[in-house]
Amino acid sequence: MKKVLISRVLPEAVYPLLEGLDVTRRDQTSPLSKDEMRAALGAFDGVLCTLGDQYSADVFADVAQPRCKILANFGVGYNHIDVAAAKAAGIVVTNTPGAVTDATADIAMTLMLMSARRAGEGERLVRAGKWEGWHPTQMLGLHLTGKTVGIVGMGRIGQAIARRCHFGFDMNVRYYGRSPKDLDFEAAFHSDLNALAACVDVLVTAVPGSTETRHMINAQVLGAMQPHARLINIARGDVVEEAALIDALQRGVIGGAGLDVYEFEPALPEALRALDNLVLLPHMGTSTEEVRVDMGGMAVENIQAFFRGNPLPNAV
């Protein structure tokens, strides 16, 4: 029987899917330490791992003859795994694309609306007992309907956000990427990110974390944005240069921002937390019961397929 380590507590509905495998549950919510990752590579045939389990090249280098042959990632983003190093060690990596798309697009819309309509500020005002009542110029925000959204990375999630903006909010959709996409709704392609940033009311990132996308949103891009525009990041923290964003928000270079992910998460600089024109969520893109069960199901499907010798549904 193949031995599989589950690196984190999963929704209960996922565990029965692991039938036929010798499963070790690590019933913790914290990431694996490097020692735990090395031990797992030596002692298990497969590991169901997730965000925060930093399978970097040195971890693979430390285990000469890994017993582990598959790292089944719970999540679509796998920038915490050095896939080239895993492959060189004879380990396949899989992920869970698709299951996360709608929920993550919904969180992007949540952040867009919260930032544009100053919902975080409003809630803080009410909770602090400082609300003095409705008046015609109270907490005026940005009206989203009919405005222009810029999507950075028009993949699965980018397109789901674009569809919500186009069909739900009658917004003009523009996007930046490596090549134009064949879409069934109107959207203008930009090959220049600064040019896109300059003409949108909301800029939303939906690219994977990678060495190419690190600090894609930097001082130059933020400087190109309009003073009322909002930046939304649901991608990976280091896609946005956090220090440049703090500076842009402090100086009013942009109107506000909404973040689900952080460059050094879960650590947030005090300067970020102090900003009122910023909405902060704790990496909640996929956090619904249904979606987390689906993600678990996909991760287990990859493991089961691998050990049964079937084609891998989601190899990366």
Catalytic residues: 236, 265, 283
Q: Please report, in angstroms and rounded to a whole number, the separation of the first and last CA atoms in the chain.
A: 25
Asked if 206 touches ligand NAP (CB under 6 A), the answer is yes
Residue 123's SS3 state is: helix
Q: Is residue 316 within 8 Å of residue 83, measured between CB atoms?
A: yes
State the sign of the Cα–Cα–Cα–Cα dihedral 86, 87, 91, 93. positive
Asked if 313 touches ligand NAP (CB under 6 A), the answer is no
Beginning with the edge strand found earlier in the chain, give each strand of the sheet holding 70-74 in spatial order. 22-25, 3-6, 46-50, 70-74, 92-94
Stretch that binds ligand NAP, among 54-62, 96-104, 115-123, 183-191 (CB under 6 A): 96-104
Report the residue number, 11 or 122, with the smaller CB distance to ligand NAP: 11
CA dist 109 and 199 (Å) reads 19
One of 66, 150, 177, 256 touching ligand NAP (CB under 6 A): 177
Strands 172-176 and 148-152: parallel
Asked if 298 touches ligand NAP (CB under 6 A), the answer is no
Q: Give residues with Cβ within 8 angstroms of 54, minimum separation 6.
A: 31, 34, 37, 80
Minimum distance from residue 151 beta carbon to ligand NAP (Å): 9
Asked if 104 touches ligand NAP (CB under 6 A), the answer is yes
Report the residue number, 77 or 120, with the smaller CB distance to ligand NAP: 77
Asked if 286 touches ligand NAP (CB under 6 A), the answer is yes
Strand ranges, E, within the chain: 3-6, 22-25, 46-50, 70-74, 92-94, 148-152, 172-176, 188-190, 202-205, 230-233, 256-259, 278-280
String marking each residue 134-173 x if it binds ligand NAP according to CB under 6 A? -------------------xxxxxx---------------
Q: Give residues with Cβ within 8 angstroms of 314, minimum separation 6.
A: 94, 95, 96, 97, 298, 302
Stretch that binds ligand NAP, among 57-65, 208-216, 271-279, 303-311 (CB under 6 A): 208-216
- Give how many residues touch ligand NAP by CB under 6 A: 29
Report the residue number, 18 or 154, with the smaller CB distance to ligand NAP: 154
Asked if 21 touches ligand NAP (CB under 6 A), the answer is no
Asked if 207 touches ligand NAP (CB under 6 A), the answer is yes
Minimum distance from residue 78 beta carbon to ligand NAP (Å): 7
Minimum distance from residue 218 beta carbon to ligand NAP (Å): 14
Asked if 258 touches ligand NAP (CB under 6 A), the answer is no
How far, in whole angstroms, is CA 29 from its chain's centroid? Answer: 18
Dihedral of CA atoms 174, 176, 180, 183 in degrees, nearest 10, equals -40
Residues that bind ligand NAP (CB under 6 A): 76-77, 97, 100-101, 104, 153-158, 177-179, 206-209, 212-213, 234-236, 260-261, 283, 285-286
